[in-house]
């Protein structure tokens, strides 16, 4: 499942993932490490996820989040991408129903003051977008200001065209292929 999630990115971008050779395990090589740990799924955004070590850990709960789209979502976090619905310009596209969001999750919806959009409009179909409703209560937390897009938010089938376009703009400017090691 992890390999299939990585393919969603590598098939549409210059980014290629390679398994970390065991002989390099003790070398100082930056890499992504997938861990089946705890409940839920997550990772830190961008290179700060490497912390003091060279590995960037991505946590995937076997029972909840090992789907190809969720793997791609977490890898995009590791590559520096935030959730779509926290873009600085999101207020013209969605309304966040903070009353429906539990206190421990509200920080996931706070709008960033400054984000790079690369001249791309809001992407309701981004793999980085949360679903519109809470899976436990069924209450809408995110409401599209364009009704036709309400059901496209939160998909975890594939990265969107715009996801791939921005990955290519960020990582593929002057090179043909970038390799990221995984373990």
Residues noted as catalytic: 74
Helix, strand or coil for residue 165?
A: helix
Distance CA 29, CA 2 (A): 20
Residue located via tokens 């590559």: 79
DSSP codes, 55-121: EEEEEE-TTTS-SHHHHHHHHHHHTTPPPGGGSTTGGGTEEE-GGGS-GGGGGGGPPPS----TT--
Contact by Cβ (8 Å): 139, 100: yes
Residue 143, burial from CB neighbour count under 10 angstroms (0-12, 13-18, 19+): middle
Is 83 flagged in the annotation as binding? yes
Is 110 marked as a binding-site residue?
no
Residue 56 annotated as lining a ligand binding site? no
What residues form the annotated binding site for Zn(2+)?
Answer: 73, 77, 83
What residues form the annotated binding site?
Answer: 73, 77, 83
């Amino acid at each position: 499942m992890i390999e299939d999630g990585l393919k969603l990115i590598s098939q549409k971008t210059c980014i290629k993932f390679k398994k970390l050779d065991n002989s390099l395990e003790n070398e100082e090589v930056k890499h992504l490490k997938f861990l089946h740990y705890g409940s839920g799924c997550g990772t830190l955004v961008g290179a700060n996820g490497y912390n003091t070590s060279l590995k960037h850990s991505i946590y995937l709960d076997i029972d909840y989040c090992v789907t190809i789209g969720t793997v791609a979502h977490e890898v995009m976090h590791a590559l520096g991408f935030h959730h779509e619905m926290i873009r600085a310009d999101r207020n013209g596209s969605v309304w966040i129903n903070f009353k429906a969001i539990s206190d421990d999750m509200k920080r996931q919806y706070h709008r960033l003051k400054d984000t790079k959009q690369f001249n791309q409009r809001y992407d309701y179909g981004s793999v980085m977008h949360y679903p519109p409703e809470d899976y436990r209560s069924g209450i809408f937390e995110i409401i599209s200001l364009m009704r036709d897009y309400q059901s496209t938010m939160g998909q975890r089938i594939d990265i969107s065209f715009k996801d791939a376009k921005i990955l290519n703009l960020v990582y593929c400017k002057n090179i043909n292929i970038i390799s990221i090691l995984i373990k």
